[in-house]
Amino acid sequence: MSQTSRPRPMGMSVPVGTDPASVRQRIEAMEMVLERSFTIPGINRAVGLDAVIGLVPVLGDVLTAAMGAYIVWEARNLGLPKWKLARMAANIAFDTALGAIPVAGDLFDLLYRSNTRNLKIVKKHLDKHHPSSRIIEG
């Protein structure tokens, strides 16, 4: 076991370092949990905790907003400009506000993926400013 990762259930490990590559992996893992944890059979649509927990009125939306805010916090630690952080926060606020609408908000959560949008913002920044953290995806 390396010093930069902790053992996780089901063989998953998340790095604990503060280097850009470790932060990138943590953000990607959080986005995966929130947006693409499993696939709905029949429609082959990937969903995550954002859509599932969002079914619980008020508390679900607050909890998923807090989990999304973690991505913004990690981005802040990476040194993203304030305007990018504001854009990321606006993505979460928009998702939370519309997700709070009964029934229609739950359908909206399936379509609007604020955490995926925020991951793209972080990846673009890291690819430009920390190219060594880039991971070749296959």
Which one has a higher pLDDT value, 12 or 14?
14
What's the pLDDT at 135?
Answer: 64
**What pTM does this model have?**
0.83
What's the pLDDT at 138?
Answer: 47
> Please, which pLDDT band fits residue 134 given cuts at 50, 70 and 90?
low
* pLDDT digit string, tens, across residues 64-95: 999 999 999 999 999 999 999 999 999 999 99
Q: Where are the domains of the chain?
A: 18-128
Quote the tokens at residue 8: 């996780």
Is 7 a residue whose pLDDT tops 70? no
Helix (H/G/I), strand (E/B), else coil: 1: coil
Per cent of the chain over pLDDT 90 is: 55
* pLDDT digit string, tens, across residues 33-62: 999 999 989 888 899 999 899 888 889 999
The DSSP annotation for 46-114 comes to EE-HHHHHTTSTTHHHHHHHHHHHHHHHHHHHHT--HHHHHHHHHHHHHHHHHHTSTTHHHHHHHH--H
Quote the tokens at residue 109: 């959560």
